[in-house]
Amino acid sequence: MDRRTFLRRAGIGGAGIAAVAAPVGTYALGQHLGSRQLSGNYSASVKAGMIRGGVNVWWSVSTTDKVLALTFDDGPTEQFTDEVLDVLARYEVPATFFLIGELVERRPDHVRRTVEAGHEVANHTFDHFSAAIQSPDEVRRTIERGADAIAEVVGERPRWFRPVRGEVTGQVLQAAAEVGHDVALWSVSRDPGNGTAIDDVDGVLRNYVDGLHEGALVIFHDGIGRSAFELTGPDEELVLARRTEIDALPGVIERYLAEGYRFVTTTELIDEHGPGPVGRTASAADEG
């Protein structure tokens, strides 16, 4: 049973007001995999604390409209971001880019180009560390610094946050609410679990097409995580995996268009095709 079907049967639809974490685990080429045991500081970070309010968490929206949001994680990078922007411009489709703050500070011109092209930018932490191995203070700091790095370039903090590897802990939810974010995950990725090889362009394209559904949040990558700025240099296997995704991107867009789908930003998907007005994030600072 896929995540979208599970949520619908559970009565949640495409959105959830999350009080507990999504499964903690590892992340392999776009797929979130559950782990059998907790590690690092996860047991401490799941404690959301004494706080009122909530944060909205989205995997997709439940709609009969043929509409989707294309998203890209881990940029901006010299290797891939300009190429992705060129592809999107060629097909005249918008997307949402979940940016790493460290890379935003290094490449503000890429961020400006992204916004000027009509795309949406969002927060993907400052340092791309997993919340599962961070303390609550570290989680809050990396989310806030990521939001501030984007605000320094575009003039305001973004609405959306996506946690590294899709690991949603209680502390992630609390920090996102306090910073003013909603949380956007994904429902379609390059590999839904059938072991597609990292260099299999045809297989990756097929997975994106086979997984497509109305109201989807589709995840691609225009970056390579922390290896884009660590002293050890780029992870060559990850570079190959990203190269494969981007090689598949034009074909994926063409197939989606042929199926009659319309591309929108994450904000447009949620606000225009979600279940109606949804409360914005709240934090202790909002209490009167």
Q: Which is the catalytic residue, given 73, 74, 191, 222?
A: 73
Name the phi and psi angles at 91, rounded to 5: -100, 0
Q: Which residue type is seen at 140?
A: R
* Residue 47 Ramachandran class (φ > 0 left, ψ -120 to 50 alpha, else beta): beta
Is 73 among the catalytic positions? yes
CATH no., domain 60-276: 3.20.20.370
Residue 132 pLDDT: 85
Contact (CB, 8 A) for 20 and 170: yes
Is 221 among the catalytic positions? yes
CA-to-CA distance for 189 and 37, rounded, in angstroms?
25
Domain parsing of the chain, residue ranges: 60-276
Residue 188 pLDDT: 97
Q: Which is the catalytic residue, given 32, 128, 221, 273?
A: 221
Contact (CB, 8 A) for 31 and 227: no
Q: What is the mean pLDDT of each run of 10 residues along the chain (288 residues)?
A: 39 36 33 35 50 85 96 97 98 98 98 98 96 90 98 98 94 93 97 87 97 97 95 91 97 98 98 66 32
CA-to-CA distance for 129 and 138, rounded, in angstroms?
9
| Closest listed residue to residue 222, CA positions, set 129, 130, 88, 67 | 88
Q: Which residues have CB under 8 Å from 224's CB, separation 6+? A: 74, 77, 79, 234, 235, 238, 239, 242
Q: Which residue type is seen at 136?
A: P
| Closest listed residue to residue 170, CA positions, set 61, 20, 44 | 20
The reported pTM is: 0.81
Residue 49 pLDDT: 56
Q: Which residues have CB under 8 Å from 195's CB, separation 6+? A: none
